[in-house]
Amino acid sequence: MSAGACALLAGLVLADRVAAGVAEDRMADRIAARQSALVGAPDVSVEGFPFLWHAAAGSYPEVEVDGRARTQDGLPVTASLDLRDVSGTAGGYSAAKARGEFRVPLDALAAKRGPGVRLTGRDGRLEIARSFMGVPLVVTAALKLTGDTVTLAPAAASLAGRPLDPANPRIAAALKAAERKIPELPLGLVPSGISVDDSAVTVHGEARNVSLAGGS
């Protein structure tokens, strides 16, 4: 390939990436305009090369969105969205399918439960530790999604290292009090699952025919 052809190819690739960057910024602005809970504009990545080919067709196979937000009661959330079959519309963009993950740190959730509470993810379950009458109480619970509410099912418990019946009414009542309704998810996503690892609880959501209209 000649030097001229190489320069032309490099120029086309650069132009393609610049055009993709402009589209990513526009999508980020539209999403930010619709989501007041966001902390700053999200990062948007338009997949598929060449971008200009997809832009000319008015559709993109995949768009990834990452952002940070806060719930109304101040919990920090890290959001990751995967939008499929995104197409341009008169009012902005729409996606045929969308999936999202919304991670809330365990230490932030523990702080909401009061001083001395420690939350740890172990083997896909949540371990809740706190002091009870001066001795350590540890309860392990499985997280479940009931509609739009996170519920906890006791799996094991111990007081000062000695096993307790996890079905103890006081434990059941404490876990019942810890239930939490999931705030409305962005872009019309519906909660589809919940999981926990060693540092965060993650709410999973899905939706179809998602509108990204709005903004400038």
Q: How is 140-194 classified by DSSP, letter by letter?
A: EEEEEEETTEEEEEEEEEEETTEEE-TT-HHHHHHHHHT-EEPPPPGGG-EEEEE
pLDDT value at 50 more than 50: no
Task: List the chain domain ranges.
Answer: 1-105+185-213, 106-181
- Its pTM stands at 0.76
| pLDDT level of residue 41 (50, 70, 90 thresholds) | low
| R_g of the chain computed on alpha carbons | 23
Note whether 139 and 166 are within 8 A (CB).
yes
Question: How far apart (Å, rounded) are the C-alpha atoms in residues 124 and 21?
Answer: 38
Token representation of residue 105 = 């740190």
Question: How far apart (Å, rounded) are the C-alpha atoms in residues 1 and 211?
Answer: 44
Strands (E), 18-91: 43-47, 59-70, 76-89
pLDDT of residue 66: 84
pLDDT value at 189 more than 70: yes
Model confidence pLDDT, tens digit, residues 101-145: 999 999 999 888 888 889 999 889 999 998 877 888 999 999 999
Note whether 24 and 32 are within 8 A (CB).
no
Averaging pLDDT over each range in 29-43, 56-70, 96-110, which range is the top one?
96-110
Average the pLDDT over each of 12-16, 34-38, 64-68, 152-156 and give the range with the smallest value.
12-16
Model confidence pLDDT, tens digit, residues 80-106: 888 888 777 766 678 889 999 999 999
pLDDT of residue 55: 47
Mean pLDDT in residue range 160-174: 88
The reply to whether omega before 186 is within 30° of 0 (cis) is: no
Q: Which helix (H) or strand (E) holds 92?
A: strand 92-105
Token representation of residue 3 = 């030097």
Phi-psi region of 124 (alpha: psi -120 to 50; beta: other; left: phi over 0): left
Please report, for residues 12, 57, 148, 165, the alpha-carbon distance to residue 50 in angstroms, rounded to integers and kept in the order given: 9, 11, 40, 60
| pLDDT level of residue 12 (50, 70, 90 thresholds) | very low
Note whether 214 and 33 are within 8 A (CB).
yes
